[in-house]
């Protein structure tokens, strides 16, 4: 089976591309981020016609996460237990067959030292606590998929002078992500690309994609019962090409 994760940067702007992507890859599960719509504007019916059930946790204009799947998801949950009243829509989870799937849009963090950066660090800590509280991670096959907004190692960064030390690539956020791995999660993409230099996001500006000035910030993290069954992982760079592309390319993982 195939699991995909893709920050679509607006599901309205990416509607046609998303449907074509589903036809081309026929993934069993797709985690989406940055849908940027409220639930009532989410294209449930169009996706159902394309063969997918969908659950969505949205908000107006920003954020928004979804899980699409061939089989009907159950046990859906929205956000974190300690989310505030006006919390961003950044996490959705569901049971899909025997797997637990999480679609997460980690905060970007703005600039170092900003309020947004403090929110990012707090959110990473809250996610760790949420995962620990909610699941028996050693025994449950869980896939934590999404736009993590963290490049885990220098090998995941194209322009160190620009990006190292930024909100996306610094020791503090890398440690916070390490705290999530310490719960029992593995980056299942990395072993298939051991030399690094494979990216999932490129800035729209300054011909970022054409120059391959990217970062690997979209990830699939899996607990041991699932990680042991992963047999492949790729980035579909074609989805970053041409007019009407998201600034992120999808990551796909194949499971035996």
Neighbours of 183 (CB within 10 A): 18
The correct pick among 19, 70, 78, 110 for binding DNA (CB under 7 A) is 110
Kindly identify the residues of this chain, within the stretch 45-84, that bind DNA according to CB under 7 A: 60-62
For 93, the 3-state DSSP assignment is: strand
Neighbours of 148 (CB within 10 A): 27
Crossing angle for the helix pair 115-134 and 171-181, to the nearest 10 degrees: 10
The one segment of 70-78, 121-129, 175-183, 203-211 that binds DNA by CB under 7 A: 203-211
The one segment of 5-13, 92-100, 138-146, 152-160 that binds DNA by CB under 7 A: 5-13
DSSP E strands, 34-178: 53-57, 65-69, 74-78, 91-96, 99-105, 142-147
Q: Examine the residue annotation and report whether 105 is marked as an active-site residue of this protein.
A: yes
- Indicate whether 33 belongs to the interface with DNA (CB under 7 A): no
Pick the catalytic residue: 28, 52, 105, 218? 105
- Indicate whether 152 belongs to the interface with DNA (CB under 7 A): no
- Indicate whether 214 belongs to the interface with DNA (CB under 7 A): no
Q: Examine the residue annotation and report whether 199 is marked as an active-site residue of this protein.
A: no
- Indicate whether 2 belongs to the interface with DNA (CB under 7 A): no
For 192, the 3-state DSSP assignment is: helix
| Stretch (H or E) spanning 29 | strand 29-33
Question: Which position has the token pair 């035996």?
Answer: 256
- Indicate whether 20 belongs to the interface with DNA (CB under 7 A): no
Pick the catalytic residue: 28, 147, 156, 218? 147
Residues of this chain that interact with DNA (CB under 7 A) are: 9-10, 12-13, 36, 60-62, 107-108, 110, 116, 203-206, 244, 247
């Amino acid at each position: 089976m195939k699991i995909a994760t893709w920050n679509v940067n607006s599901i309205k702007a990416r509607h046609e591309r998303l449907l074509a992507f589903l036809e081309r890859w026929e993934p069993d599960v797709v985690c989406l981020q940055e849908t940027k719509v409220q639930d009532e504007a989410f294209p449930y019916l169009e996706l159902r016609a394309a063969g997918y059930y969908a659950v969505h946790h949205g908000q107006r204009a920003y954020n928004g996460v979804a899980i699409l799947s061939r089989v009907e998801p159950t046990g859906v949950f929205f956000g974190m237990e300690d989310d505030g009243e006006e919390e961003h829509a950044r996490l959705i989870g569901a049971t899909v067959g025997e797997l637990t799937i999480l679609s997460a849009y980690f905060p970007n963090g703005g600039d170092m030292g900003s309020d947004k950066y403090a929110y990012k660090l707090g959110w990473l800590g809250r996610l760790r606590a949420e995962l620990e509280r909610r699941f028996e991670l050693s025994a449950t096959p869980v896939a934590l998929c999404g736009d993590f907004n963290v490049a885990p190692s220098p090998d995941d960064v194209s322009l160190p002078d620009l990006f190292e030390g930024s909100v996306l690539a610094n020791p503090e956020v890398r440690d916070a992500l390490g705290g999530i791995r310490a719960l029992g999660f593995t980056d299942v993409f990395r072993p298939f690309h051991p030399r690094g230099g494979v990216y999932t996001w490129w800035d729209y500006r300054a011909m970022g994609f054409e120059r391959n000035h990217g970062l690997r910030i979209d990830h699939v993290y899996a607990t041991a019962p699932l990680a042991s069954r992963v047999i492949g992982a790729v980035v579909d760079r074609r989805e970053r090409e041409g007019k009407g592309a998201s600034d992120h390319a999808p990551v796909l993982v194949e499971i035996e």
